[in-house]
Amino acid sequence: YRLARAAVAKNIQIKVLPGPSAVTTALLLSGLPSDRFCFDGFPPRTSGARKTWFESLANEVRTIILFEAPHRLLECLADAKSVFGPNRLGAICREMTKTYEEVIRGDLETLHQWVTDREILGEITLVIAGFDPDSRHFATADLISEVLKQEAAGISRKEAIAEVARITGMPKRDVFDAMVSHKSQDGLGRIEP
């Protein structure tokens, strides 16, 4: 995958000979790590079930590959973005090995935006980078900002801390400690763990 990633970085087009499955073809075209991967078929059709499904994969370190119907791709990416975060890398592989083959690479925010702007047709294979344990380190200011955003959306501080911990993969205690440091800086009221 390092060779594919280097080619993508230099805007060199990658072509993959058809293999035994769309899974391995998409994996190679994505430029994401191919040393370890998991294929999980089609995600559930409803948003709630899909988010739960993605949550079960949130800490998966292997590259994740799935199929999705074109008419559900936008909602699927929105749910993936809400669970994995907008910065997780991925690739949309469409019509692989056919005349109109298309591979869109970027973070989940970029992929979601790309799908928003057009009608999607054809067979879709979605590749999402695995969880990077080193990405768990967030600046205290980022954690505080996320908790405050959650609170602005109308949930309690305790629920906001739990939600930010879930989204970031950080221990709840670390998010709580960030809010305690914020409280001591601006004199906010008591924080409940």
Adjacency order of strands within the sheet including 124-128? 37-39, 63-68, 124-128, 89-94, 102-107
CB 116 within 8 A of CB 92: no
| pLDDT of 191 | 47
> Is residue 109 domain-shared with residue 158, that is, in the same domain?
no
pLDDT at residue 118 is higher than 50: yes
| pLDDT (average), residues 35-54 | 95
Asked, for residue 50, whether it belongs to a domain, the answer is yes
What percentage of residues in the chain have a pLDDT greater than 90? 50
Q: Among candidates 91, 86, 87, 98, which has minimal Cα distance to 68?
A: 91
pLDDT digits (tens, 9 = 90+) for 98-109: 888 899 999 999
Measured distance between the N- and C-terminal CA atoms of the chain, rounded to whole angstroms: 43
What percentage of residues in the chain have a pLDDT greater than 70? 93
- Provide the mean pLDDT of the chain: 87
Q: Which structural domain, as residue segments, surrounds residue 89?
A: 2-134
> Is residue 75 domain-shared with residue 115, that is, in the same domain?
yes
| pLDDT (average), residues 59-64 | 92
What span, in angstroms and rounded, lies between the C-alpha atoms of 191 and 173?
12
| pLDDT (average), residues 1-24 | 82
Q: How many domains does the chain have?
A: 2
> Is residue 58 domain-shared with residue 117, that is, in the same domain?
yes
pLDDT digits (tens, 9 = 90+) for 121-176: 989 999 999 988 776 666 777 888 889 999 999 999 999 998 888 877 777 888 89
> Is residue 149 domain-shared with residue 162, that is, in the same domain?
yes
| pLDDT (average), residues 103-124 | 93
DSSP notation for the chain? -HHHHHHHHTTPPP-----S-HHHHHHHHHTS--SSEEE--SPPSSHHHHHHHHHHTTT--SEEEEEE-GGGHHHHHHHHHHHH-TT-EEEEEESTTSTT-EEEEEEHHHHHHHHHTS---S-EEEEEPPP-GGGG---HHHHHHHHHHHHHTT--HHHHHHHHHHHH---HHHHHHHHHHHHHHHT------
Between vectors from CA 129 to CA 80 and to CA 82, what angle results, nearest 5°?
20
> Is residue 129 domain-shared with residue 148, that is, in the same domain?
no
> Is residue 167 domain-shared with residue 73, that is, in the same domain?
no
Confidence of residue 63 (pLDDT cuts 50, 70, 90): very high
Asked, for residue 191, whether it belongs to a domain, the answer is no
| pLDDT (average), residues 103-123 | 93
pLDDT at residue 189 is higher than 80: no
Asked, for residue 71, whether it belongs to a domain, the answer is yes
Asked, for residue 193, whether it belongs to a domain, the answer is no
> Is residue 13 domain-shared with residue 62, that is, in the same domain?
yes
What span, in angstroms and rounded, lies between the C-alpha atoms of 38 and 1?
15
